[in-house]
Chain A
């Protein structure tokens, strides 16, 4: 009798675990994610005037909204800003974060754990609390409305994360590898360059990509210090389409599409690295 109940339960589970159920769940998940993106794309192909037309597909697909956004409203300058700011931020963050992560993974020094905890704490602190002092500092140094001002914010935001990620990657590299390299004839720096760093290259790639993506989409600090297109990044510029009296939905959607393309490409080509980076370098 017990075995019959057991079998019945097994049948229920077999059904729940079947392909069909899995596919239905996946379908809704994809709909949930892709739906808004598709809507955004479709909206961007309308004119600002035609946004409220009661059709799903734009009746006269046009790139006019893109023209308005990129050329007339000067949005292309935000694209340039974003590329420059994200690239420079990424280079700076990786150049500091990689050696820092290595040191935290290998060396014992006075208060090492305390310093590392402090690094992580800066990441746990809600950034909104820092907006006011950040703006004050930027204005004192005359960095309001400059790309440098936003780069500094990005470095502050993502450096702790990269130190943490890189440290985790370096921890997966056995110490014996450094030691073997040093016995084989390397200085400590050579051991890092010829042996340890090449082994964590996938981790380094993950860190680079994540920093770029995060810098690309950063809004709060960029919004705080820039109010014109000389330094404004894409997310901030996109927000400009929200006017006092009306929202230019089509232009905003067009700007959003432009903002999405690079990150979508990066994710598409480097998703393997991003997954390892987000899981903290469990596997190198």
Chain B
């Protein structure tokens, strides 16, 4: 799986224009972090991780809890020592250096504002502790609060602030130092849904203006997709894929990434493959599809690829009206509708294959237009976008990626 990371580093183009040619700001080189449990056993939180983060790039680590993303971030910050491997910031190894000696700033999940200090003192603290002259501190505080629009809060205490305001103060305390690398540890997870989306947009704008190398940890894929120049998908302490958000979504490297990115998650079906004249015939318990000749070609190139599973995103389904006969039979699916969840802009359907009887485990989801006249308990006909089908081999690798 580590070769996945290497491969996508060649393929994936960072979104920002400096991109590939710019210098490596943060290098994580073969970092492994092991923890010793109370009972003496060893848990590997991060397993031989290698990643280059380029100057002014916004990198987002995303993965389920316990996947090692936060541990990686804390190792970069110097709050954890790697068991093996090395971290370089701006070219220099920071092994053995204390957090204060690393030129990084960090925003914590619960903000970690100093409750006994005012907003002004909180923001100024990184400079004050470094004994910057008073006039410089004052000037930089003024600049920072203007950037964040929190000028009127300066003399308040953190406990008097709303979650969003506390979040901005925490950002201010990180920005004021102008560090080489920003580290964000799930900074939006304590906010309510509406505010989270607002702050997400604001973080995006802020990064456009400040333009600093940032490493951002989240379990929220929406944050990952919207903020990242490149997304790092992690699981079990290992990098599963590193690439721009579009590629992670459209060409997930393996079954884990495919299932993790996308909401509702991708449907997986055990599949049998036949090479037919008109393309690749995929047979599952739920449907039979014929994939385009180009897909068949790609599969043929991957000589001996043993496809065992097919993945279809809910949004790759499309309801077909009875009268519409223009749809090619080879990509039609028929199913029972068990649940309809109206989401406003569209409907999420829970479907059961026609032959599945009472077997709930065979159910899958489809996201269809809100105009679809689906009825719970009745049959529906759907067309599958065969360009959007993913094929996985026995090891979980995406054959088409």
Q: Report the bound CA distance from A120 to B78 in whole Å.
A: 34
A residues in contact with B78, CB < 8 Å: 182-183
Task: Tell me how far the C-beta of A106 lies from the nearest C-beta in chain B, rounded to whole angstroms.
Answer: 13
- Cβ proximity bits B103-132 to A, threshold 8 Å, 1 near / 0 not: 011101110101110000000011001100
| A183→B116 contact, CB < 8 A | no
Q: Report the bound CA distance from A190 to B77 in whole Å.
A: 18
Q: Report the bound CA distance from A194 to B129 in whole Å.
A: 9
A residues in contact with B112, CB < 8 Å: 174, 176-177, 179-180
| B129→A190 contact, CB < 8 A | yes
| B106→A183 contact, CB < 8 A | yes
- In the complex where A182-B100, A183-B100 touch, is A176 in contact with B108 (Cβ < 8 A)? yes
Q: Report the bound CA distance from A195 to B115 in whole Å.
A: 9
Would you call B173 an interface residue if the criterion is a C-beta within 8 Å of the partner chain's C-beta atoms?
yes
Would you call A72 an interface residue if the criterion is a C-beta within 8 Å of the partner chain's C-beta atoms?
no
Closest to B170 in A: A180
Would you call B98 an interface residue if the criterion is a C-beta within 8 Å of the partner chain's C-beta atoms?
yes
| B110→A183 contact, CB < 8 A | no
Would you call B99 an interface residue if the criterion is a C-beta within 8 Å of the partner chain's C-beta atoms?
yes
Q: How many A-B residue pairs have CB under 8 A?
A: 63
Task: Tell me how far the C-beta of A203 lies from the nearest C-beta in chain B, rounded to whole angstroms.
Answer: 13
Q: Report the bound CA distance from A211 to B110 in whole Å.
A: 34
Q: Report the bound CA distance from A186 to B173 in whole Å.
A: 14
Would you call A185 an interface residue if the criterion is a C-beta within 8 Å of the partner chain's C-beta atoms?
yes
| B129→A183 contact, CB < 8 A | no
Would you call A184 an interface residue if the criterion is a C-beta within 8 Å of the partner chain's C-beta atoms?
yes
B residues in contact with A198, CB < 8 Å: 114, 116
Q: Report the bound CA distance from A181 to B78 in whole Å.
A: 13
Would you call A37 an interface residue if the criterion is a C-beta within 8 Å of the partner chain's C-beta atoms?
no
Contact partner of A184 among B110, B173, B183, CB < 8 A?
Answer: B173
A residues in contact with B300, CB < 8 Å: none
- In the complex where A176-B109, A190-B129 touch, is A182 in contact with B98 (Cβ < 8 A)? yes
B residues in contact with A195, CB < 8 Å: 114
Task: Tell me how far the C-beta of A183 lies from the nearest C-beta in chain B, rounded to whole angstroms.
Answer: 5
| B79→A182 contact, CB < 8 A | yes
| B79→A185 contact, CB < 8 A | no
Chain A 195-209 interface residues, beta-carbon cutoff 8 Å to B: 195, 198-199, 201
Closest to B79 in A: A179
Would you call A187 an interface residue if the criterion is a C-beta within 8 Å of the partner chain's C-beta atoms?
yes
Contact partner of B99 among A174, A176, A183, CB < 8 A?
Answer: A183
- In the complex where A180-B112, A199-B115 touch, is A187 in contact with B79 (Cβ < 8 A)? no
Contact partner of A183 among B104, B115, B130, CB < 8 A?
Answer: B104
Closest to A173 in B: B115
Q: Report the bound CA distance from A186 to B130 in whole Å.
A: 8
| B129→A186 contact, CB < 8 A | yes
| B116→A199 contact, CB < 8 A | yes
Interface centre among A174, A183, A195 (most CB of B within 10 A): A183
| B100→A180 contact, CB < 8 A | no
Interface centre among B77, B104, B106, B183 (most CB of A within 10 A): B106
Chain A 210-229 interface residues, beta-carbon cutoff 8 Å to B: none
| B99→A182 contact, CB < 8 A | yes
A residues in contact with B77, CB < 8 Å: 179, 183
A residues in contact with B125, CB < 8 Å: 181, 184-185, 194
Task: Tell me how far the C-beta of B230 lies from the nearest C-beta in chain A, rounded to whole angstroms.
Answer: 24
| B100→A187 contact, CB < 8 A | yes
Closest to B101 in A: A185
A residues in contact with B130, CB < 8 Å: 185
A residues in contact with B126, CB < 8 Å: 184-185
B residues in contact with A177, CB < 8 Å: 112, 114
- Cβ proximity bits B309-335 to A, threshold 8 Å, 1 near / 0 not: 000000000000000000000000000
Closest to B127 in A: A185
- Cβ proximity bits A136-177 to B, threshold 8 Å, 1 near / 0 not: 000000000000000000000000000000000000001011
Chain B 236-295 interface residues, beta-carbon cutoff 8 Å to A: none
Task: Tell me how far the C-beta of B317 lies from the nearest C-beta in chain A, rounded to whole angstroms.
Answer: 44
B residues in contact with A184, CB < 8 Å: 100, 105, 125-126, 129, 173, 177
B residues in contact with A182, CB < 8 Å: 78-79, 98-100
Task: Tell me how far the C-beta of A155 lies from the nearest C-beta in chain B, rounded to whole angstroms.
Answer: 29
A residues in contact with B98, CB < 8 Å: 182, 187
Task: Tell me how far the C-beta of B319 lies from the nearest C-beta in chain A, rounded to whole angstroms.
Answer: 49
| A186→B115 contact, CB < 8 A | no
Contact partner of B106 among A180, A190, A199, A201, CB < 8 A?
Answer: A180
| A180→B116 contact, CB < 8 A | no
Closest to A184 in B: B126
Interface centre among B98, B99, B109, B173 (most CB of A within 10 A): B99
| A180→B108 contact, CB < 8 A | yes
Between A and B, 28 residue pairs with Cβ closer than 8 Å are: A176-B108, A176-B109, A176-B110, A179-B77, A179-B79, A179-B99, A179-B112, A180-B106, A180-B112, A182-B78, A182-B79, A183-B77, A183-B79, A183-B99, A183-B100, A183-B106, A184-B100, A184-B105, A184-B129, A185-B100, A185-B125, A185-B126, A185-B130, A186-B100, A194-B125, A198-B114, A199-B116, A201-B116
Residues on A facing B (Cβ under 8 Å)? 174, 176-177, 179-187, 190, 194-195, 198-199, 201
Query: Beyond the given A184-B126, A199-B115, could you list 15 further A-B residue pairs with CB under 8 A, ordered by the A residue number?
Result: A174-B110, A179-B77, A179-B99, A179-B106, A179-B112, A180-B108, A180-B114, A181-B129, A183-B78, A183-B100, A183-B183, A184-B177, A186-B100, A198-B114, A199-B114
**3 closest Cβ contacts across the A-B interface?**
A180-B112, A176-B112, A184-B126
